Structure 1
Amino acid sequence: MNTTNLKGVIDSLVDVFWAGGINNSYTIIEEISQLWIFRLIARKDNPQGEFHQDYLINIPAQDLWYYLKEFIELNKLDQEPIENEKALKEVLLVLNNAVRSLKNIYPEFRVEYMKDISFTVTNPRVIVKAHKIVDDFFQEHELTLMGELYGELLKTITTIGQWGQYVTPKHVIQPIVEMLAPRSEETVLDPACGSGGFLLETYNYLKGKEGSVNVNLYGADFDPTMARLAVYNLIFHDISNFSITHADSLAEGTITKNYDVIMVNPPFSIRYTDYLTNLIGGNSVRTTDQLFIELSIALLKELGRAAIIVPEGILFGNKSEFRRRLIGDYRIEGIVSLPQGIFKPFTLVKTSILFLSKWQNVRHQLATPCVWFYEISQESSTATGEGSFTDLLLRWKSRQRDWERWQQLSEQGTEKPQESFQPPKQWPFKKFFFVNHEELENNNFNLSMSHYKNVEEEIVAHVTPKELILTIQELDQEIQKNLQELNELLEDSKWQENKKEDQHEQMNQEKEEKTTVSEPENLDQIEAMDLYEGPLEIPQQFHKLFEKFSFPQQKLLETFYYENRPLAGHEATKLIQDTLKAHGYSKKFSVQEGKKSIEFFEVFGMLEREQAEMMEFPRLPEQEGTKNILNFEAKTTIERWQVPEDFKRRGR
């Protein structure tokens, strides 16, 4: 069916819930999912005979849909204005009674996180309208469309979940499944399964390839809502051979068995402080990026294979020992660099797909003789991130042959030792290349494709002396232009007067503050920043980029260097306010602008993120007649950023 028509139905359903005062995407999808279940299992033949209203109180789940339809029509609940308010309220009572009987039909509804499901909508008019939309649609279309329709429903999620989870796009999942190529009889796990996208595509892949599917699908998710969405997603696609667990995959005793294939897109850069499963070993504070890689390796069978979507930061920086162990003890099959923003609007963090296999007990001289890098460029994607992965799949299947060709060309072109990485002169491809074990070791086991790609571009971009002179002249003209603008600004009397007034005000303020017992917080850092005039010690390839930053952005980045500690976005932005004022900068630089700038720095590896635990909300004692607002116990975390040690080292 036309996707536009499916989207139209979903938009109508979602609009009903929004009009009813429900604007949380996850809540809306859960309510619609529960309603669809009753339509999926509905039977027209009534074993109790003719319709009678008392039967609705304890109606079996299979009979609910058509009985509810008759009840709505009999009481004219589908006509405005609705006068029978009593009958309207009974709709929710009937639905919630029927939900509890779903466990008699689906074993998946007997698990703990599915036992307490109910309709949380307090406005029964919403359910009545949604029931009609769904009923009208499936009177004209087959129930087999329900899976496809549910896929469109999941696309309405536009916000990241409480634990950093989001729905991984189908066009990213499909090539990963094809590259790992799961087979019948194998066990497949997603330890952070979300809505079950990897498990669903595994089923579709095997069904399309082999006709029949005999594979064991396993998923786990820390968020009970996402675990429920995964169950609904697989049920609506007519899949029964699966097991979804609501659990923290990283915790002790959660997952114990080994699997043939593991695919996961874990939450990024979250500090994990709970006691880890002994499969990983140790319980030091580390980010989920590293922990899910270690967990995947631990859960793989010998010769098992895994694909893990990771933020770029884990592939370089100060985790060289971790990467050395990965490369030395296991086989890195390949790294696919994804385009910036492929997971927007959920995150703009640059990501890659890490493919590895477990060769630990199979003795080889080198577990990873080379790493295959492939880039999905921004140009090959549409505005939504969807692009052709055909070439990726072809190159993946031919990578052993390409590696042999790479070695042959390397041997032909080795006239003298190279100081840094570069591809063989006759290598015809730009999208992918290989880096051997020796090169990896020489580069601190850096697994970021951009690290080698930048070097390659600098080497192969041959420039004639005449072109070089023209480039220098253009740069000189640009510098002279900037100097002229700066001089004009300095000569502006109004600007000078404002600056003197600000300085005078600042001096008065400092005199007043000196008379008090305590000094302003962070005064030393602010004064140090005002005295600083030179460029930051950042890597050379970032100098031009730094010059393009606005004045507040430059000062913001400097703050992280001088503080030399993790800073929250609002904290760093506030630290530079006095500095901007002292320099005569009159425009407002908001916390929101600061946060966006920090995320931009993070994209280029200038900053790295951490999530720190800040406080805990206590459970307040219940008082009669008093509404308990803080009626839950929960830990609150805050995101902070700091300059990576590796980035500092490269700038010295």
Structure 2
Amino acid sequence: MITGELKSKIDRLWDAFWSGGISNPLEVIEQITYLLFIKRLDDLHTLEEKKAIRTGEPMERHIFPESCDDQGCKYDDLRWSRFAHAAPSEMFKIVSERVFPFLRTLGGDESTYSHHMKDARFTIPNPALLSRVVDMLDGLRMDDRDTMGELYEYALSKIATAGHNGQFRTPQHIIQSVVEMMAPTPTDEICDPACGTAGFLVEAGEYVRRTHPDALSDTVQQKHFHEGMFHGFDFDNTMLRIGSMNMLLHGVENPDIRYRDSLAENVSESEKYSLVMANPPFAGSIDTDSTSRDLQRLVKTKKIELLFVALTIRLLKPGGRAAVIVPDGVLFGSSKAHKEIRRILVEEHRLDGVVKLPKGTFTHHLGVPAAILLFTKTNSGGTDLVWFYEVTADGWSLDGKQTPLLSWDKLGPTPITKLTATEHDMSNLPDLVARWKERDNSERKRNRTDQSFLVEKHNIVANDYDLSLQRYRESREQQRLLEEKALRLGDFAEVFKGWVPASDLDRTERQEAVPKEVRVLHPSLLTAVLPEVGQLPVRKTGREPKRRLSSGDIVGRDLGESRHWTVLPETYEGVQAGQGLVVIRPTGHAFPPEYLVEYLSSNQAESQFPRYDVVPRIRSGGLADILIPPCDGSHISITSAMLKVKEGVKEARQILSMLDESRVKVFDNCTSSERRLRLDAAAELSALTAQNLRKQKHPYQAFQDAYPYAIARAVRRFRHSSSLQERHESAIQCVESLILSLGIVSLSLAADRGWQDLSEVTSWSESVERGGVSLGHWLGVIRAAGNFARKGGDEAAGLAQATATQKGGKGLISDLESLVSLRNKVRHGAGPRTQAEIEKSLNNIEQLMFRGLSASSFLAKAKWVYPTRLSWVPESDKFRVSALAIMGDHPDFEPLEFDASQPVGDHRLYVVSENGDRFPLAPFCVLEDCPSCLTPELYYPDRLSRSTALLKSLDRGHELESTEVFAALYSWMNP
């Protein structure tokens, strides 16, 4: 293991590069790679010299020629051992003007490393930095494989913590786990078609050395190990250089690491490799015309993740094995290509296993679930039982910081010290490897309630080749229901989806004369009270649907927890169902409809719903499989009890009506003293009612239902976190979403009101240009905008009052300052480690977070909207704006309309306050489809490059580049 002293040296070296003006971690590691290669050349030349002296024969190979260069200078002066001891200015001149040009002439050398040095660039800016770097590297022995390999790995690990560039690095513990499961042998030919830094190939080499210590003693086997075993492709030359050096420093002399656009070129090496391990790009599309015809013949798609699975199949020889990391969507995607690639794995080859990884495993795709597909190429089928395992913890924090949760001797798939049962909850990796090796033995006895289990092929085929673990996992609640002889919903009811798209609705039509047969129940209209049929929107087209709603149907939303399951009355007979609605039509009399509604609304039912991706969407097929528990008694008695339950709801509505009435009466005609008495009475009544209601309702539900999208999603994750660590991390993410949302509103107000000269706004602009905005900068903008608005008597959509300082210096700003301080400690590695510390920290954060959310209630009153259509209404002399309300925790945003005296831009975000005041959020916030998870997300600008703005999502850490936002920001900052 790398020592603390070496780590400290690398850290100091990194700091030196940073202070010297090189902040891009890829550029840092690239310059280190060049220098290590130069040092290796000198070591090789020295070995040749010693060999010549020992044998008395002339040198066979002069790496540094005996001749002179064009300037009449000896090539011998370019050796590391010569220039390393020169004065800094002289060293800088030699390296920049002579050594690097010499490197670029080595392309004729047949080694992998020389080939990748042909376009070497020297970017170290000054002699002082070069001298420090050379001094640090000078004492390292290149022939010490263990030390050099671990040193380079540690340097590479810094790429993973460097934001956008971290996409090139797979966590080392995940690589090790995959290699342990694949167990490469000395005879394997191993390929990674998206090799990056060659992590899988390096770890495979280390595994072979460790488990087959005698294998390299054979001359033929040794040649195979150094020249024929390892093959890696990438289309990034920087990655090829880094990957090649990584292999070299781990003792592989001449691996096949080469430039190749794996998806664009035809698979010339079809059926060549016995083992493929890869973590290809998670998502995205590639033009069909640019894709290999070999791959298109296997599966016709533009999806990169599917094409890489197809490529893996092509590369494997019959009997070859593969482990490919894929986004969760590959397991359950409903497109033709998704189903076909899964069918091929199950029917034409042997699918061995599916390992579900926890969210946050990959820092560059924080929050996006991923899985490992493990299969064997047979060309003749062979899938019998498929092994599933759910990794819930991998030993590191899942917050993007990758902080170890255990001591170093207990991390990884093969820890030095055995883990206890409690420590297993922090790292499942040793258990993952152990169970994988037993999948043909003891694993066959496991139930589907366990962390791992096996599923029969016919079951997978029956589920349309769905490979999501939750599809086959049986909860203990389901086991109990089976023992209780519960009934499957699909056995006594028909379940189907709504069919009318939102784009086919005309929401302006409200006349009673319009027949209900053309009206549509859209899921957004499902609330605690079912709307009257006459209030439903009208379908624009007269197309006759295959189905219509019937009285007695049970309807609910397919997205979000507030599904509002409802039994339709007779008045809804013949109405149509909008997309996003789930319809349950009982075909038997097993249960009263009212009982089904209550059960479907319960947490027990929710726990059975099959979910997909980050969004808790349910599907009709999965809903049909849930179990409905029996209830003793006749249908009449059960229905009667259900009606009594509804009496409470009715009573609550009456209380609300009474509270509203008492509030209105405060301002009826009366004297000042009477008005005060009425106000106190209404306040006491309201406070007493609220106090009792809080005991019955989750306090965060209001934030989840009514706040802007990013905050609402973060609150949902916090509410439904399954462990203490996950809840702590979700609280931090919720804090970040709240501050960013407030900051975006504040910055947008500043731009709209012309407050660019505020020092905090200027500081924010400078930080964007310098390379990154901290939460402290956002908080400064919030504080400044609120103060300036109050001084000028501007309500600022509610920001002015919300940010006002209360008695004792308390208030929203004070709470946010405390939250930023706590958050920074966690993000900078000084956060809690033990269970008790995490619990204490969570308690502090949650108190402040709840107060901060409550004090920001103006966010729920001023809607974030996304205009989709603008039309002129002559009668009102105004513009009619059709838009989506970007509020609540689900992406099927509620459609709305409002009138505007001035036109608004289509497809740009705005804030519309209660009094009709509005201002644009762009370019400080934009709504875009995420290229990783393909769902709409809110993005804010984090930093600017030369021509693009790097955007980050408010609540998930995803990133996006935008030239349009760059242009708008640049224009605003440079008027």
For the aligned pair, the TM-score class normalised by the smaller chain equals 0.5 to 0.7
Tell me, yes or no, if the aligned pair for 2:13 and 2:133 is still in contact at 8 Å: yes
Letter of the structure 2 residue corresponding to residue 14 of structure 1: W
Give the superposition deviation at 1:585.
11
Letter of the structure 1 residue corresponding to residue 309 of structure 2: I
Aligned in 2, Cα 1:133/1:456: closer, same or farther, shift over 3 Å? Answer: same
1:24 counterpart residue number: 24
Letter of the structure 1 residue corresponding to residue 131 of structure 2: V
1:442 counterpart residue number: 462
Match of 1:339 among 358, 362, 366: 358
Aligned in 2, Cα 1:520/1:256: closer, same or farther, shift over 3 Å? Answer: farther
Where 1:138 maps in the other structure, the secondary structure is: coil
1:392 counterpart residue number: 432
Aligned in 2, Cα 1:19/1:475: closer, same or farther, shift over 3 Å? Answer: farther
Cα deviation 1:601-638 (Å, max 9, x = unaligned)? 987xxx5489xxxxxxxxxxxxxxxxx999xxxxxx97
Q: Superposition pairs for residues 482-521 of structure 1, below 5 Å?
A: 513-514=872-873
Cα deviation 1:523-566 (Å, max 9, x = unaligned)? 3344xx6xxxxxxxxxxxxxxxxxxxxx8234x6123999xxxx
Aligned in 2, Cα 1:559/1:451: closer, same or farther, shift over 3 Å? Answer: same
Q: Superposition pairs for residues 7-406 of structure 1, below 5 Å?
A: 7-43=7-43, 60=75, 64-72=79-87, 77=88, 88-100=92-104, 102-103=106-107, 107-111=111-115, 113-135=116-138, 137-138=139-140, 144-157=146-159, 158-159=161-162, 165-211=167-213, 212-213=215-216, 214=221, 215=225, 216-253=229-266, 255-257=268-270, 258-273=272-287, 274-282=289-297, 284-318=300-334, 319-361=338-380, 367-378=382-393, 381-382=396-397, 384=402, 387-402=427-442, 404-405=444-445
Give the superposition deviation at 1:13.
1.1
Tell me, yes or no, if the aligned pair for 1:269 and 1:288 is still in contact at 8 Å: yes
Q: Percent identity among equivalent residues?
A: 27
1:524 counterpart residue number: 882
Give the superposition deviation at 1:450.
2.5
Q: Distance in 1 between the 2:249 and 2:360 partners?
A: 30
Cα deviation 1:231-269 (Å, max 9, x = unaligned)? 110111121141011111112236424210000100011
Tell me, yes or no, if the aligned pair for 2:295 and 2:310 is still in contact at 8 Å: yes
Q: Distance in 2 between the 1:230 and 1:483 partners?
A: 69
Cα deviation 1:492-512 (Å, max 9, x = unaligned)? 9999x999xx99xx9xxx999
Q: Distance in 1 between the 2:333 and 2:465 partners?
A: 10
Q: Distance in 2 between the 1:57 and 1:474 partners?
A: 98
Letter of the structure 2 residue corresponding to residue 308 of structure 1: V
Give the superposition deviation at 1:99.
2.3
Q: Distance in 2 between the 1:7 and 1:485 partners?
A: 63
Cα deviation 1:170-215 (Å, max 9, x = unaligned)? 1101121121122222211000000000100111111111113444
Q: Distance in 2 between the 1:186 and 1:110 partners?
A: 25
Q: Distance in 1 between the 2:602 and 2:305 partners?
A: 45
Give the superposition deviation at 1:118.
2.5
Where 2:354 maps in the other structure, the secondary structure is: strand
Give the superposition deviation at 1:514.
3.5
Give the superposition deviation at 1:224.
1.2
Give 5+ residue unaligned stretches, structure 1.
78-84, 407-422, 530-550, 563-570, 611-627, 631-636, 640-652
Tell me, yes or no, if the aligned pair for 2:276 and 2:322 is still in contact at 8 Å: yes
Tell me, yes or no, if the aligned pair for 1:337 and 1:375 is still in contact at 8 Å: yes
Q: Distance in 2 between the 1:207 and 1:29 partners?
A: 26
Aligned in 2, Cα 1:451/1:70: closer, same or farther, shift over 3 Å? Answer: same
Q: Distance in 1 between the 2:658 and 2:242 partners?
A: 61
Aligned in 2, Cα 1:629/1:458: closer, same or farther, shift over 3 Å? Answer: closer
Aligned in 2, Cα 1:6/1:445: closer, same or farther, shift over 3 Å? Answer: same
Tell me, yes or no, if the aligned pair for 1:269 and 1:609 is still in contact at 8 Å: no
Letter of the structure 2 residue corresponding to residue 11 of structure 1: D
Where 1:262 maps in the other structure, the secondary structure is: strand
Q: Superposition pairs for residues 392-471 of structure 1, below 5 Å?
A: 392-402=432-442, 404-405=444-445, 423=447, 430-453=450-473, 455-460=474-479
Q: Distance in 2 between the 1:476 and 1:430 partners?
A: 41
TM-score if structure 2 supplies the norm length? 0.47
Tell me, yes or no, if the aligned pair for 2:196 and 2:239 is still in contact at 8 Å: yes
Q: Specify which structure has the bigger relative contact order, considering alpha-carbon pairs within 8 angstroms and separated by 6 or more residues.
A: 1
Aligned in 2, Cα 1:54/1:301: closer, same or farther, shift over 3 Å? Answer: closer
Where 2:368 maps in the other structure, the secondary structure is: coil
Tell me, yes or no, if the aligned pair for 2:870 and 2:882 is still in contact at 8 Å: no
Give the superposition deviation at 1:272.
1.2
1:548 counterpart residue number: none
Tell me, yes or no, if the aligned pair for 2:2 and 2:147 is still in contact at 8 Å: no
Q: Distance in 1 between the 2:475 and 2:354 partners?
A: 17
Letter of the structure 2 residue corresponding to residue 302 of structure 1: P
Aligned in 2, Cα 1:3/1:329: closer, same or farther, shift over 3 Å? Answer: same
Letter of the structure 2 residue corresponding to residue 168 of structure 1: T
Q: Distance in 2 between the 1:293 and 1:594 partners?
A: 33
Give the superposition deviation at 1:375.
1.0
Q: Distance in 1 between the 2:441 and 2:375 partners?
A: 19
Give the superposition deviation at 1:323.
2.0
Cα deviation 1:26-53 (Å, max 9, x = unaligned)? 11100011112223343596989xxxx9
Q: Distance in 1 between the 2:603 and 2:274 partners?
A: 55
Alpha-carbon RMSD: 5.1
Letter of the structure 2 residue corresponding to residue 340 of structure 1: K
Q: Distance in 1 between the 2:365 and 2:353 partners?
A: 25
Letter of the structure 1 residue corresponding to residue 82 of structure 2: Y
Give the superposition deviation at 1:275.
2.9
Where 1:177 maps in the other structure, the secondary structure is: helix
1:617 counterpart residue number: none
Aligned in 2, Cα 1:445/1:11: closer, same or farther, shift over 3 Å? Answer: same
Cα deviation 1:459-480 (Å, max 9, x = unaligned)? 1366999xx9998999999999
Cα deviation 1:565-616 (Å, max 9, x = unaligned)? xxxxxx99845x35x54698999988878779x87x987xxx5489xxxxxx
Aligned in 2, Cα 1:100/1:514: closer, same or farther, shift over 3 Å? Answer: same
Q: Superposition pairs for residues 569-588 of structure 1, below 5 Å?
A: 574-575=908-909, 577=910, 581=913
Letter of the structure 1 residue corresponding to residue 235 of structure 2: F
Letter of the structure 2 residue corresponding to residue 262 of structure 1: V
Aligned in 2, Cα 1:638/1:91: closer, same or farther, shift over 3 Å? Answer: closer
Q: Distance in 2 between the 1:560 and 1:226 partners?
A: 45
1:645 counterpart residue number: none
Give 5+ residue unaligned stretches, structure 2.
50-61, 63-67, 405-410, 412-426, 487-598, 605-643, 668-794, 799-857, 897-904, 938-945, 949-959, 963-975
Give the superposition deviation at 1:309.
0.2
Tell me, yes or no, if the aligned pair for 2:145 and 2:250 is still in contact at 8 Å: no
Tell me, yes or no, if the aligned pair for 1:266 and 1:309 is still in contact at 8 Å: yes
Tell me, yes or no, if the aligned pair for 2:313 and 2:377 is still in contact at 8 Å: yes
Where 1:399 maps in the other structure, the secondary structure is: coil
Q: Distance in 1 between the 2:177 and 2:918 partners?
A: 51
